[in-house]
Structure 1
């Protein structure tokens, strides 16, 4: 990668340089690749939660609590009684949503339960407008 100065043999034209310096091309390609990676939006699976703001009002009235359990076989229990199918659970949750002051829902999934069942219960509660949901039994996940 040198340059010929003067005539080497004295009689002919200087040789034409046929090599291309690819270093700047590679640098530009890497910069474009990095810019592409930075500008691609990161796909995250997230659950949006509306957390309470401020201090809760003082009240002596204890809210009603509805317990929904999901066992290791992914069977759903409402207040200790087995629910036949998801349609029955949705009907019961719709009844809670129609109340003037909906009760607190305590969801207690077993760690061996299928995630699809737990997610379906949470999706039904959110779709029906029930916002007071708590996941109970998280200490079973700590090993």
Structure 2
């Protein structure tokens, strides 16, 4: 705070604005220099949008693969062999949109057998593979 040299001897209540003006001018110059640099953009040719409504493909029903404890396989309740299963997976993987595969394993089936079915489906290109379970009703 500045003190007056006059006869009153009290504190001077005026604010010294010179440092404030100096800081504001420096900031103004900095922003004037950097603002044009920030507006420089990379030119990209964007694709044009077509607003016509497309027909969406109908959703395909999911495929259910059942695995029994003896290793027998069923494709939508139809018995199949491993070779038939691979060929059907490869045919279904080519479809757009790809149907979902639901694997139903018997309670006593070893996980190795179920895992073989899942790996076969993924190896043939199936992306949506899930498991079907029954909710525990003891609660």
- Give TM-score scaled by structure 2 length: 0.52
Q: Matched residue of 1:125: which SS?
A: helix
Distance 2:122 2:134 in 1: 20
Q: Matched residue of 2:130: which SS?
A: strand
1:131 aligned onto 2:131? no
Partner of 1:63: 60
In structure 1, runs of 5+ residues without a counterpart are 1-58
Partner of 2:85: 89
Partner of 1:108: 104
**How big is the alpha-carbon RMSD for the aligned residues of Structure 1 and Structure 2?**
2.4
Distance 1:60 1:99 in 2: 11
Q: Matched residue of 2:103: which SS?
A: strand
Count how many residue pairs are aligned between Structure 1 and Structure 2: 83
Distance 1:94 1:112 in 2: 28
Distance 2:63 2:113 in 1: 18
In structure 2, runs of 5+ residues without a counterpart are 1-55
